[in-house]
């Protein structure tokens, strides 16, 4: 049973560049959430995708965008990178299956470490 997988594991970019991070959810899951974790801090919610649409969004600027594909995998795009975007980016998946509510916990991948020079 494959868990949540993210790629790449590490990435180095320079200010002003654009980056795309990828996530494959746990087998059987249909909902993907993205989190940003700065060094020494807890993860902060960026947004969540279900049925290929952004359903919820945290307090992040429009430079952060995403996409979900028909196979439930997802991408996180960040434009015009800033030094402050250096962080561990985590993807979490869960199963809604069309229900309004789900009491199943989210499963996290091990993240992509993004460094901005």
Partner 1 sequence: LAKTTQPISMDSYEGQEVNITCSHNNIATNDYITWYQQFPSQGPRFIIQGYKTKVTNEVASLFIPADRKSSTLSLPRVSLSDTAVYYCLVGRANFGNEKLTFGTGTRLTIIP
Pick from 48, 64, 68, 116 the residue near partner 1 by CB under 8 A.
Answer: 48
> What residues contact 108, with CB distance under 8 A and at least 6 apart?
4, 35, 90, 91, 92
Pick from 44, 65, 73, 86 the residue near partner 1 by CB under 8 A.
Answer: 44
Q: How far is CA 97 from the centre of its chain?
A: 20
CB of 103 to partner 1, least distance (A): 5
CB of 92 to partner 1, least distance (A): 7
Helix (H) or strand (E) holding 101: none
Residue number, 20 or 56, with CB nearest to partner 1: 56
Binding mask 80-109 for partner 1 (x = CB under 8 A): --------x-xxx-xxx---xxxxxxxxxx
Q: Which of 52, 6, 38 is nearest to 25 (CA)?
A: 6
Binding mask 3-42 for partner 1 (x = CB under 8 A): -x--------------------------x-x-x----xxx
| Vertex 4: Cα angle to 48 and 40 (nearest 5) | 75
> Measuring CA to CA, how many Å separate 23 from each of 14, 73, 106?
22, 6, 14
The interface with partner 1 within residues 50-79 (CB under 8 A) comprises 50, 55-56, 58
């Amino acid at each position: 049973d494959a868990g949540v997988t993210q790629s790449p594991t590490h990435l180095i970019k320079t200010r002003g560049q654009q980056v795309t991070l990828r996530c494959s959810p746990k087998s059987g899951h249909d909902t993907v959430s993205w989190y940003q974790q700065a060094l020494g801090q807890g993860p902060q919610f960026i947004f969540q995708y279900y049925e290929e649409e952004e359903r919820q969004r945290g307090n992040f600027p429009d430079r952060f965008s995403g996409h979900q594909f028909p196979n439930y995998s997802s991408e996180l795009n960040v434009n015009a990178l800033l030094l402050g975007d250096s962080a561990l980016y985590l993807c979490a998946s869960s199963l809604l299956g069309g229900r309004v509510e789900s009491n199943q916990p989210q499963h996290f991948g091990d993240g992509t470490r993004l460094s901005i020079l």
